[in-house]
Structure 1
Amino acid sequence: MFDLIPDMAAKRAEISPDALAFRDLGTGQDWSFARVNAAADAVAQGLRAAGLTAGDRLAILCLNRAEFFVTLFACQKTGIILCPLNWRQPAPELIDTLTGVAPRALICEAGLAEVGKAVADQMQIDLFDIDTTLAGWIANGDAPALADPVPATRPWYLLFTSGTTGRPKAVIQTARMSWANTVNISQAIGLTPGDSAVCFLPLFHTAGINLYTLPMFLTGGQSSLFPKFEPNQLLDLIRQGQVNQFFGVPAIYQAFSLMPELDSIDWTSIRCACGGAPLPEPLIRLFAQKGAKVLNGFGMTETGPTVFLMDPARAEEKIGSVGRAQMLTDMRLDGVAPGQPGEGEIQLRGPNITPGYFGNDAATRDTFTADGWLRTGDIGRRDADGYVFVIDRMKDMFISGGENVYPAEVERLLNSHPDILEAAVVGQADAKWGEVGAAFVILRPGHSLDPDSLRPWCRDRIAAYKVPVRFSVMDDFPRTAAGKVRKPDLRKILQ
């Protein structure tokens, strides 16, 4: 998909200069496409003047704000590689994350200055403040960056994996991946220049950047930027009709479901999608009753991320499905004949797939098959109609008495219990069966439950070997920044 890609910010500014790109709800500023491009030109000049050149890595530590995207586009203009950092992490963790990419400088916002300075001092790199240094560059910039077309597969920015199995890996993101993701998601949900979305997921995560903020920019639509997730403010924005495209992870829909303001919103005017994990059936049906068809999807940091998204016509009929692979991604199930029903590891290829991990050739080799397909590590099932269901992570599956147990299947059952808001299941060692299930549940507000009652309730509905032997009630689960349950942390509780 193309060898060279035009300067994205410059091209968008050429097409629709005066249209609104970003409404920054943290700073109260509006940014037209022309303003974004001019600011990106100025930051590109400033970075070059500071000695950074193509291929250098530039870390950034900030909440969601327009200057993040200004810097992202400045990096595309210069060939500098942006490294967004998790602002929830302390300095020692950030230093460990950055060790493998060796940045030349760090951009930081004032509210995170203490952590930013500690990282910059320890790593002996330059520190630029968004509200002083970058603001000065933007105010004094006086010439276009004159960027050449961008090599489609040149590293543009790096996104770090969660690091649950060791030091986080830096997943390479390219301009080609961004355009392929834009095509995939636009085809699936029908993005237009008249659409408006909201950016509240963190920008050190692929969903924060790419669902849907960067595709919305490239399409010519508008994004409202929240510094971070504020459910009441977000619902107010939706109620005011300022959002017609919405993406959230299951934890977001779960939070909405508990808010009395939910009924005051015209959900029929909003196209809703969900990713990160399948939205439980009770939530799908709850939002459907209110006029919102929430479309389950699937993607990874390594896939740009959009691969699958359910189509609205069969969303309620095929509850649990993530639909079919979108236009610019091929999918196969390992060991299953092409187009046939069956179950196997989901493997992917296409222009939206990462070239690999920055500075980690061994991890790159392990992630791709000999014929070039990305191994997702997810087990999928294709039905007779061609719809794909993600069964579970291969690493989460456990074997009990010789039988495969998929925690996601047990979680779906527990999520249907009238007293349970959310469930998570992991495997634990067992002397007799090898492994058995351990379930953790969060109760619905105002509900009570005897955990011991869940065992016979499950036994009436699933095979005995799938029934967890332990049930624990929790106030909340340990989660990643994107809202996913951190199952390794749950396993530690069992030790």
Structure 2
Amino acid sequence: MMIGDMPDLLASRALLSGEAIALEELATGETRTYAELDARAGKVAALLAARGIGAGDRVAVLCRQRIAFFELLFGCAKLGAILVPLNWRMPAAELDGLIADAGPSLLFHDAADAATVAALAAPPPIIDLDSDYGWLVTAAGEAAGRAHWPADGILYLLYTSGTTGRPKGVIYTYRMALANHVNIGTAIGLTSRDTTVAFLPNFHTAGINLHALPTLFSGGRVLLMAAFDPDAMIALLGQGRIDTLFGVPTIYQSLLDQPAFASLPLDRVRHWGCGGAALPDALALRCRDAGMRVCNGMGMTETGPTAFLLDPADAWDRIGSVGKPQLLCAARIVDIDGAPVADGEIGEVQFSGPGITPGYWRDEAATAAAFTPDGWLRSGDLARRDADGFAWIAGRRKEMFISGGENVYPAEVENVLAACPGVVDVAVLPRPDPKWGEVGRAFVQLAPDGRPDEAALTAFCRSRLAPYKVPAAFEFVAEFPRTSAGKIRKHLLA
């Protein structure tokens, strides 16, 4: 083992917890113990090697949450190949761009995405996970693989969700995986006795890292739900099967809206985590009323993702905060010149530490633009820190606009509007104005029985915001275009 290497963590966990269940597919009841998962990953590595795949080669996968995804992830790790999870919500025309950028030598897909794969312009050789994968792995030769993982080696590529434009391939290293395990594991106290459920898309960092991969490193059990199903989630909660749960705000909204949720026993869940998009104060208060200490956090694909996270002890008293930087994550808030801002002042959040990506796949310009001269990752997010060290996100730097000489942060306005009765969600963008330079333009999604009109929304804002922050116009939408993390794709609205 060379300096900078680490052991194969799956093999190490299999040695420690071989007979424990690692993965369970809820749809099929199929399971893998740690010993079985390690053995299957070795067979996957042999299958890949037989197909000419070697270290550094890319292997694409297009599927929902399932055992085969994690077998491929660890199989690639054993071989040194790079997994590329593809977005199954994209049409073939969009996937063509990702495939051209990543250059995979092989593509695995499930039956649900067969038609999309058939429509690809130039697909690599393909393997169907539902018809061919099983027997191919069984028939593969002796398990192959290396004993150690290079800390700076690439484990997989994740293409950003693209809220503002073309996705970029974020490089995710083995070091980042271990750092995230430390960051989230110490924050929520992960142990081998814990069970979590993975239901967020596996082409998104949360679908892999919150909390599936850290739970596997800890020796716990990961329940795999192909996609979020509120009835299935309520059944799991009712059966007391979940110890830790991470969701985006729309997941919590959906659960709270289910009539059966109010009568559930929630004592088993030790940690409720939330991220991916801003958690509106109104929704956080609903969670508190239900007895859930939902811990708001903030991170990025580029940060591993765990960066900021609120402690459960502070969840009900610090609503709106994303907490403090976690153990292996350094964070600073700076002004436009890179100088630290005083507590209470708004600046850009920047990160450093072992959980930070080294850059973007084959994109030197984007990589250079993402980092400061002294090596800190520019998040593009604006935040302030209070005197106790808690951070509060104010929105994206690119979204801030100036109205009549005053800075307006859309996140603040959106948070206020989200508390208006009858409002499901809202997005605020600037529009040119001959008098004020720019003014706010609010897109609003109402509940089916929502009644507020433009005058009512204006009055609601005027009682809670300075006049220059009140949107000058309101537009009503049936649904918002969203990323897989639930973020509104504002550039499509504009």
**The two structures share one fold, judged by TM-score above 0.5:** yes
Q: Distance in 2 between matches of 1:127 and 1:150?
A: 27
Q: Distance in 1 between matches of 2:162 and 2:321?
A: 28
Counterpart pick for 2:418 among 410, 415, 426: 415
Tell me which residue corresponds to 1:266. Answer: 265
SS of residue paired to 1:22: strand
Tell me which residue corresponds to 2:491. Answer: 488
Q: Is the 8 A contact 1:184 1:326 kept in 2?
A: yes
Amino acid at match of 2:405: G
Structure 1 position 378 matched with structure 2 position 381: yes
Q: Is the 8 A contact 2:359 2:367 kept in 1?
A: yes
Tell me which residue corresponds to 2:197. Answer: 198
Q: Distance in 2 between matches of 1:146 and 1:256?
A: 42
CA 337–112 in structure 1, closer or farther in 2 if over 3 Å, else same: closer
Tell me which residue corresponds to 2:110. Answer: 109
Q: Is the 8 A contact 1:451 1:473 kept in 2?
A: no
Q: Distance in 2 between matches of 1:155 and 1:308?
A: 24
Amino acid at match of 2:373: A
Q: Is the 8 A contact 2:181 2:214 kept in 1?
A: yes
Tell me which residue corresponds to 1:348. Answer: 351
Amino acid at match of 1:71: L
Structure 2 counterparts to residues 443-454 of structure 1, below 5 A? 443-454=446-457
Tell me which residue corresponds to 1:92. Answer: 93
Q: Is the 8 A contact 2:46 2:141 kept in 1?
A: no
Structure 1 position 169 matched with structure 2 position 153: no
Give TM-score, length-normalised by structure 1.
0.95
Tell me which residue corresponds to 2:372. Answer: 369
Structure 1 position 131 matched with structure 2 position 130: yes
- Deviation digits for residues 326-370 of structure 1 (CA, Å, limit 9, x no counterpart): 000111111454885532110000000001001001100000000
Tell me which residue corresponds to 1:310. Answer: 310
Q: Which moved more, 1:474-483 or 1:194-203?
A: 474-483
Shift of residue 254 of structure 1? 1.0
Q: Distance in 1 between matches of 2:307 and 2:245?
A: 17
- Deviation digits for residues 67-111 of structure 1 (CA, Å, limit 9, x no counterpart): 001000011111111110111111111011221221111111122
Q: Which moved more, 1:233-242 or 1:440-449?
A: 440-449
Q: Distance in 1 between matches of 2:182 and 2:68?
A: 25
Q: Which moved more, 1:430-439 or 1:206-215?
A: 430-439
Structure 1 position 479 matched with structure 2 position 482: yes
Amino acid at match of 1:329: C
Tell me which residue corresponds to 2:148. Answer: 149
Q: Distance in 2 between matches of 1:141 and 1:104?
A: 18
CA 314–54 in structure 1, closer or farther in 2 if over 3 Å, else same: same
Shift of residue 28 of structure 1? 2.5
Quote the sequence identity (%): 47
Q: Is the 8 A contact 2:165 2:491 kept in 1?
A: no
Q: Distance in 2 between matches of 1:4 and 1:338?
A: 38
- Deviation digits for residues 373-409 of structure 1 (CA, Å, limit 9, x no counterpart): 0000001100011111111111111111221110110
Structure 1 position 224 matched with structure 2 position 223: yes
Shift of residue 143 of structure 1? 2.8
Q: Is the 8 A contact 2:110 2:129 kept in 1?
A: yes
Q: Which moved more, 1:37-46 or 1:159-168?
A: 159-168
Q: Distance in 1 between matches of 2:138 and 2:48?
A: 14
Tell me which residue corresponds to 1:53. Answer: 54
Shift of residue 445 of structure 1? 4.1
In structure 2, the gaps of 5 or more residues are: none
Tell me which residue corresponds to 2:214. Answer: 215
Shift of residue 434 of structure 1? 1.8
Shift of residue 118 of structure 1? 3.2
Shift of residue 206 of structure 1? 0.3
